[in-house]
Chains A and B, each alone.
Chain A
Amino acid sequence: MANEGAILELRAAQPSFDESGMAPVPIDLRLMPGDCAVVECRDSARATLFADLCCGMISLASGNVRFMGLDWAELGDRQFYALRGRIGRITRRGSWLDLFGTHQNIILQQLHHTTRPTADVVADAMALGLAFGFPGLPVTSPGHLSAADLARAACVRAFLGRPDLLVLEDISDVLPADAAVAFLEAITAARDRGAAVIWFVRHAATWADYRSAVNVHLRLLDEGLFPVRGV
Chain B
Amino acid sequence: MTGGTVAPGPPDLSEDGSPEGLPEGLPDGPSGWLKARLARIRPALAWIGRLTRHQVRFVLVLIGSAWGVVRESMRPNSWRRTVREEFRLCLRQVVGGGFLSTIVTATLAGLMVVSQAVYWLGFAGMAQMTGSILVSVLVREISPVLVGIILLGRSGMLVLTEIGMLTLGGQIRALQAQGMDPFLLLVLPRTCAFMVGGFTLGILFATNALLMGFIITHASGVITTSVWTFFANVLAAMSSWDFLVIPLKFILVGFFVGLGACMTGLLVDADDTIATLMPRGFARGIMTVMVVNILFILGG
Contacts and interface: CB of A to CB of B under 8 A. Distances in A.
Interface of A: 52, 55, 57, 77-78, 80-87, 89, 91, 93-99, 108-109, 111-113, 118
A108 B171 contact: no
Interface in B132-181: 162, 165-166, 169-171, 173-181
A108 B81 CA distance: 10
B180 A108 contact: yes
Contacts of B81: 111-112, 118
Contact of B185 (A84, A85, A91, A112): A112
A108 B177 contact: no
B82 interface: yes
Interface residues of B, number: 20
B175 to A, nearest CB: 7
Contact of A94 (B80, B82, B170): B170
A81 B181 contact: yes
A84 B178 contact: yes
A84 B176 contact: yes
A111 B170 CA distance: 22
Nearest to A107: B82
Residue of A77, A83, A86, A109 with most partner-chain B CB within 10 A = A109
18 contacts: A57-B173, A81-B181, A82-B179, A83-B179, A95-B171, A95-B177, A95-B178, A96-B171, A97-B174, A98-B165, A98-B166, A98-B171, A99-B166, A108-B178, A108-B180, A109-B178, A112-B179, A113-B179
B78 to A, nearest CB: 9
Contacts of B177: 52, 55, 57, 84, 87, 89, 91, 95
Contacts of B82: 108, 111-112
Nearest to A87: B179
Contacts of A77: 181
A93 B180 contact: no
B93 to A, nearest CB: 11
Q: Which 8 A-B residue pairs are closest in the complex by CB-CB distance?
A: A84-B179, A95-B174, A85-B179, A112-B82, A109-B178, A81-B179, A81-B181, A111-B82
Interface of B: 80-82, 162, 165-166, 169-171, 173-181, 184-185
A81 B171 contact: no
A112 B169 contact: no
B174 A91 contact: yes
A93 B178 contact: no
A112 B171 contact: no
Contacts of A118: 81
A131 to B, nearest CB: 21
A109 B170 contact: no
A53 to B, nearest CB: 12
Contacts of B175: 97
A86 B178 CA distance: 8
A80 B184 CA distance: 14
A49 B179 CA distance: 17
A121 B176 CA distance: 21
Nearest to B175: A97
Contacts of A55: 177
Contacts of A80: 179
A13 B175 CA distance: 24
A77 B175 CA distance: 14
Nearest to A52: B177
Contacts of A84: 176-179
Residue of B171, B173, B175, B185 with most partner-chain A CB within 10 A = B171
